[in-house]
């Protein structure tokens, strides 16, 4: 069923848990993720980034509409989120299309701009998105490290984060606590004390980017410390590519893409189910309580 990101985050947050948000690049990603979420009997977010839209020749509607249709026909509650939208014109266009496409949330990413400009642009885009009922995520700008806010060396300052949320009125905040995008091994060391400090002072849900580089055990600890949305992308691509490579290595004469894509998709589904199950069962709630209430209790679009 097509759920809203706000309802999912509220539901998981009420149990001191976090909702997983999985990056979609192709239709196959979306289908495989939905299957994995269904197997885990939980809910999740399908998120499409600005980079993914560019991969689809800058066309927003086809891939987003497909994701929304997959979510609507799924037995699991799944919402649609737009991730890391930086281009101002594209962001405004996406916000205008969101309701028609089944999108219920967006990350407006102005973190590459000087701080004051980040605040102004984020505030204006949040106002525009809120007028359409969207849940809005954002992040602070460069805090340290060669990759700015996405460096594993960067750290979000609690007072600055609290003030940023107050000035921009965003609904969720991505914070720098030791992870980094595109990590291919789970070696990131999160600053759990900082996460707890941020959760205590920032009045909106915290979002962890770069979660593919974080071990299961550390992700569980991060959720216990206060993380409420966990973004996963690279881990799915590693799984998909690995599945395809294994199949082609033993079937070198195959030319029908359906045969090897199927193996790649199954690898994504298994990864999704694993993450949903591990994080859900180990998080601070009663592991015997399923998310069956999600199937009936959440407002759908």
Span 176-205, pLDDT tens digits: 886 555 554 455 567 889 999 999 999 999
pLDDT of 88: 96
- 150 or 164: which carries more pLDDT confidence? 164
pLDDT of 185: 47
pLDDT of 287: 45
Span 13-24, pLDDT tens digits: 998 999 999 999
pLDDT of 189: 64
Distances (CA, A) of 238 to 11, 16, 124, 185, 265: 30, 29, 37, 10, 11
Span 49-62, pLDDT tens digits: 999 999 999 999 99
Closest CA to 172 of 3, 2, 13: 13
pLDDT of 291: 59
Task: Determine the average pLDDT of the residues in 85-92.
Answer: 96
pTM over 0.85: yes
Asked whether the beta carbons of 35 and 133 are under 8 A apart, the reply is: no
Closest CA to 151 of 182, 173, 122: 182
User: CA-to-CA distance for 35 and 52, rounded, in angstroms?
Assistant: 21
The yes-or-no answer on residue 116 being catalytic is no
What does DSSP assign to residue 147? T
Q: Which stretch of 34-48, 136-150, 255-269 has the lowest confidence by average pLDDT? A: 136-150
User: CA-to-CA distance for 300 and 110, rounded, in angstroms?
Assistant: 30
Neighbours of 185 (CB within 10 A): 10
User: CA-to-CA distance for 35 and 191, rounded, in angstroms?
Assistant: 33
246 band by pLDDT with thresholds 50, 70 and 90: very high
pLDDT of 179: 56
Q: What is the mean pLDDT of the chain?
A: 87
Task: Determine the average pLDDT of the residues in 112-130.
Answer: 95
User: CA-to-CA distance for 120 and 113, rounded, in angstroms?
Assistant: 10
Q: Which residue has the tokens 């509650």?
A: 77
pLDDT of 301: 52
112 band by pLDDT with thresholds 50, 70 and 90: confident
Asked whether the beta carbons of 205 and 222 are under 8 A apart, the reply is: no
User: CA-to-CA distance for 4 and 6, rounded, in angstroms?
Assistant: 5
Q: Tell which CATH classification among 3.40.640.10, 3.40.50.11900, 3.40.50.150, 3.20.20.70 matches the domain 5-285.
A: 3.20.20.70
Choose the catalytic residue: 7, 83, 109, 280: 83
- Core vs surface per residue 196-231: b (16+ CB within 10 A) or e: ebbbeebebbbbbbbbbbbeeebbbbbbbbbbbbbb
Domain locations in the chain? Answer: 5-285
pLDDT of 144: 34
């Amino acid at each position: 069923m097509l759920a809203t990101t706000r309802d999912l985050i509220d539901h998981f947050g009420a149990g001191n848990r976090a909702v997983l948000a999985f990056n979609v690049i192709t239709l196959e990603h979306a289908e495989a993720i939905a299957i994995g979420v269904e197997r885990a009997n939980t809910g999740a977010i399908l998120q499409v980034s600005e980079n993914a839209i560019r991969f689809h020749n800058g066309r927003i509607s086809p891939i987003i509409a497909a994701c929304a249709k997959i979510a609507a026909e799924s037995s699991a509650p799944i919402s649609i989120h737009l991730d890391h939208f930086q281009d101002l014109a594209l962001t405004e266009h996406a916000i205008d299309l969101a309701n028609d496409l089944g999108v219920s949330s967006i990350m407006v990413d102005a973190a590459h701009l000087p701080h004051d400009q980040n605040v102004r642009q984020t505030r204006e885009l949040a106002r525009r998105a809120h007028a359409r009922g969207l849940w809005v995520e954002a992040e602070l700008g460069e805090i340290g490290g060669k990759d700015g806010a996405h460096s594993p060396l960067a750290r979000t300052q609690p007072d600055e984060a609290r003030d940023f949320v107050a000035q921009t009125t965003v609904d969720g905040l991505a914070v720098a606590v030791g992870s980094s995008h595109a990590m291919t091994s789970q070696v990131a060391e999160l600053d759990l004390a900082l996460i707890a400090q941020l959760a205590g002072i920032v009045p909106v849900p915290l979002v962890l980017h770069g979660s593919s580089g974080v071990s299961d055990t550390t992700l569980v600890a991060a959720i216990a410390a206060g993380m409420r949305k966990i973004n996963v992308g690279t881990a799915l691509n590693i799984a998909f590519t690995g599945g395809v490579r294994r199949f082609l290595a033993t079937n070198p004469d195959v030319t029908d893409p359906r045969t090897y894509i199927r193996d790649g998709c199954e690898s994504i589904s298994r990864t999704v189910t694993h993450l949903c199950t591990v994080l859900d069962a180990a998080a601070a709630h009663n592991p015997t309580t399923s998310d069956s209430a999600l199937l009936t209790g959440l407002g759908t679009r």
